[in-house]
Structure 1
Amino acid sequence: MITVRDATAQDAQALAEIYNYAVQHTTAIWNETCVDVQNRAQWISERQKAGFPVLVACAAQGVVVGYASYGPWRLFEGYRYTVEHSVYVRANCQKRGIGRLLMQALIERAKAAGLHVMVAGIEAENAPSCRLHAQLGFVQAGTMRQVGTKFGRWLDLSFMTLNLE
């Protein structure tokens, strides 16, 4: 059974492992630099102090198998009711509904916070993520061609949005 809870500093090691795997092996994150435990602990703290959730999905014995969060879409005041989210699941735990569970919890938090729109920025060839978002009610908002690069190739960024009201 998978449970979802708020992250703590003790989850930083697991978050760093999940994040670093995505950095090293996927185009889900367009960074090429891995992070350490201190970086993730600081990230958790900063997000939570700013009023944004950081959620973790835990399997048996409390093992963290995924995480999700949202933060500002853009920093201008006019965007204050719009957030962009991220969700990551351990590679060996994918396709088990964990991403969906995290996303559903994150959407509920955003609604409870009185937010209006949630934005997803997804590498355009990431069909499983696009499919999950569509199943949760996100709609295609556009694709920006070749705006990023990783592993020696240009990447397209698809945007999907969910109206939370």
Structure 2
Amino acid sequence: MSNMVFLKDKRREKQMKYERSMLKEVSVKELKKGIHIHFATFFHYGLLSKWSIEEGCADFAIESFLLGAKYSKFGFRGESMTCVQNRSGKEETRLTADFYDYIISWGCPNESVICHESLYIASECFMQHWWKEGFLRGQKRYKLRLH
């Protein structure tokens, strides 16, 4: 009698393998540099504590990177980056909103509305940057047939 293999389990296993291979493309140094670039002014003025939210920022950056990598197959097949980004719009928007909520809850919950707007814009740029990185590196892996 043979074992039953479920398609859902196989898909999940394949996805995990792909994500592991994609994570080899990102270094902790790159993540820290990206965090510093997008949030340096907030750290400088004391609106955010660098040490308390840096790990969370890295987690969200990785999620966004993997989301971009997941959708890179459409770019490899000929769609433009903007079309693909529109395709993943719901997931990217949800991820950005979760990231913004994380920053507000750990960073500066009592600051002004202007501060919150600036943080949202910075959060959106940060997530888009990592989505694009994942997309481009995933597309590169598809071109090299490493997927």
Task: Choose between structure 1 and 2: higher helix proportion.
Answer: 2
Task: Choose between structure 1 and 2: higher strand proportion.
Answer: 1
Q: Could you tell me the TM-score, scaled by structure 1's length?
A: 0.26
Larger Rg: 2
- Higher relative contact order by CA 8 Å / sep ≥ 6: 1 or 2? 2
